[in-house]
């Protein structure tokens, strides 16, 4: 702490992302990165980018990317907002919409960045518990609120809500905004982008970090009613005129063009996820049904912290949250089939593991 810190920053508890170790030879299954490289076209666009252009500022409106997203999702361009990763889009969203007299409602277990933003912007919020099976019960969200946010599929649980339930929520929650964070939607859930065409009270946020293998490029976006997008633009233009650099725009536009590669890699991850889930179940894990690129699983007898430490000692990194209620669970990102085989083999060698036969 320094005497130069303002009072407000002394109170902050920043988000702690999963470890990005500097050593090689680790099987990294702790931050939900995609094990496959970005689309060949995206790599090509970045390699062949005319670097001398970097002398100039990037397009403050990121028009090429907005147009590409509008075409891809079949919406008008004025329904698209882009930012430096969906974390930035979320930060601007909280600032633009959630500073309200009534509290923001969100699940007790969800992306842990949300309450960090609440503290940053001094937003009052209320956490609503999940059901015992870790699903979100949207009936709990029938109360006066200054907004609602959840991830769908949710993180770190992996469970997805059906669109009909989200639509019912939008029907009855007309006076405040519902934000659906769809960071993992491409791994098997249904997107609320379709609902955003008919409802002006929903904002859908997605990212290129997970399903498009571009976590390092930092590109996220939001789709919703033009007046919501306008609100985000007002905040963005009061904060940073050029959140997306030229390379991020070129790479993400090219990634959107390769639909076959996108389908192939997301399919591979879904297949590997289902294989891994069945292997874990044979070892005595309870695995939450997942529509994401990770599994949330707890072993019946061996504690989560113990397993995380054991795997770490064998150079396999998984995520463990020491939060009560989920502290027995591991969040395991889906890697390549080879990486998941290694995870399973390593777990089988744990001294207390009993493996059931097929």
Ligand X SMILES: *Cc1c(COP(=O)(O)O)cnc(C)c1O
Residues that bind ligand X (CB under 6 A): 32, 85-87, 111, 151, 155, 181, 183, 207, 209, 215, 220
Verify cis geometry, omega within 30 degrees of 0, for the bond prior to 356.
no
Query: Which is closer to ligand X, CB of 112 or CB of 176?
Result: 112
**Nearer to ligand X by C-beta: 89 or 280?**
89
Q: Show the DSSP H helices in the chain as ranges.
A: 7-10, 40-47, 63-73, 85-97, 113-121, 163-172, 193-196, 226-236, 246-257, 259-282, 304-313, 337-348
| CB neighbourhood size of 198 (10 A) | 10
Q: How far is the CB of 117 from ligand X (least distance, A)?
A: 11
DSSP secondary structure, 14-37, as one string? ---PPP--S-SS-EEESS---SSP
CB 49 within 8 A of CB 225: no
Buried-state track 200-211, b at ≥16 Cβ within 10 A, e below 16: ebbbbbbbbbbb
Strand-pair partners of 125: 104
Question: At which residue do the structure tokens 């707890």 appear?
Answer: 298
Closer to ligand X by CB, 116 or 280: give it: 116
Buried b (16+ CB within 10 A) or exposed e, 294-324: bbbbbbeebebeebbebbbeeebbbbbbeee
Q: DSSP secondary-structure letter at 106?
A: E
Which is closer to ligand X, CB of 58 or CB of 209? 209
In the complex, minimum distance from the CB of residue 350 to ligand X, in angstroms, rounded to a whole number: 28
- Identify which of residues 181 and 258 has a Cβ nearer to ligand X in the complex: 181
Least spacing, CB of residue 6 vs ligand X, in Å:
26
CB 198 within 8 A of CB 59: no
DSSP characters over 168-179 = HHHHH-TTS-EE
- Least separation in angstroms between CB 221 and ligand X: 9
**Least distance (Å) from ligand X to the CB of residue 147?**
16
Complex with ligand X: residue 212 or 299, whichever CB lies closer: 212
Q: How far is the CB of 181 from ligand X (least distance, A)?
A: 5
Q: Which is nearer to ligand X, 224 or 283 (CB)?
A: 224
Q: How far is residue 124's CA from residue 223's CA, in Å, rounded to a whole number?
A: 25
Q: How far is the CB of 183 from ligand X (least distance, A)?
A: 4
Q: Please state the closest distance from residue 55 (CB atom) to ligand X, in A.
A: 27
Our CB check for ligand X shows the closer of 156 and 304 to be: 156
Sheet holding 125-128, edge to edge: 80-83, 220-224, 202-207, 178-181, 147-151, 104-107, 125-128
């Amino acid at each position: 702490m320094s005497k130069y810190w303002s009072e407000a920053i002394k109170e902050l508890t920043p988000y702690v992302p999963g470890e990005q170790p500097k050593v090689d030879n680790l099987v990294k299954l702790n931050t939900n990165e995609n094990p496959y490289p970005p689309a060949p076209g995206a790599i090509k666009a970045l390699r062949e980018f005319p670097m001398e252009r970097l002398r100039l500022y990037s397009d403050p409106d990121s028009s090429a990317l907005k147009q590409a997203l509008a075409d891809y999702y079949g919406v008008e361009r004025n329904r698209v907002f882009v930012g430096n990763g969906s974390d930035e889009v979320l930060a601007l969203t909280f600032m633009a919409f959630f500073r309200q007299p009534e509290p923001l409602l969100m699940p007790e277990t969800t992306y842990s960045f949300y309450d960090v933003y609440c503290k940053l912007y001094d937003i009052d919020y209320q956490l609503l518990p999940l059901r015992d099976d870790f699903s979100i019960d949207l009936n709990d969200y029938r109360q006066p609120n200054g907004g609602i946010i959840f991830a769908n599929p949710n993180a770190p649980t992996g469970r997805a809500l059906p669109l009909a339930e989200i639509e019912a929520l939008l029907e009855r929650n007309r006076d405040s905004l519902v934000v659906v964070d769809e960071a993992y939607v491409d791994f098997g859930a249904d997107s609320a982008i379709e609902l955003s065409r008919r409802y002006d009270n929903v904002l859908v946020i997605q990212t290129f970090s997970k399903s498009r293998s571009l976590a390092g490029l930092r590109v996220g976006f939001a789709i919703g009613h033009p007046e919501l997008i306008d609100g985000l633009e007002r905040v963005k233009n009061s904060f940073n005129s050029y959140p997306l650099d030229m390379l991020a725009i070129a790479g993400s536009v090219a990634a959107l063009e390769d639909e076959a590669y996108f389908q192939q890699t997301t399919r591979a991850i879904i297949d590997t996820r289902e294989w891994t889930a069945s292997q874990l179940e044979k070892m005595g894990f309870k695995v939450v049904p997942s529509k994401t690129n990770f599994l949330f699983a707890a072993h019946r007898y061996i504690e989560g912290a113990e397993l995380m430490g054991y795997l770490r000692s064998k150079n396999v990194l998984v995520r463990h949250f020491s939060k009560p209620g989920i502290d027995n669970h591991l969040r395991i990102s889906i890697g390549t089939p080879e990486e998941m085989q290694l995870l399973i083999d390593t777990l089988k060698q744990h001294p207390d593991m009993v493996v059931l036969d097929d």
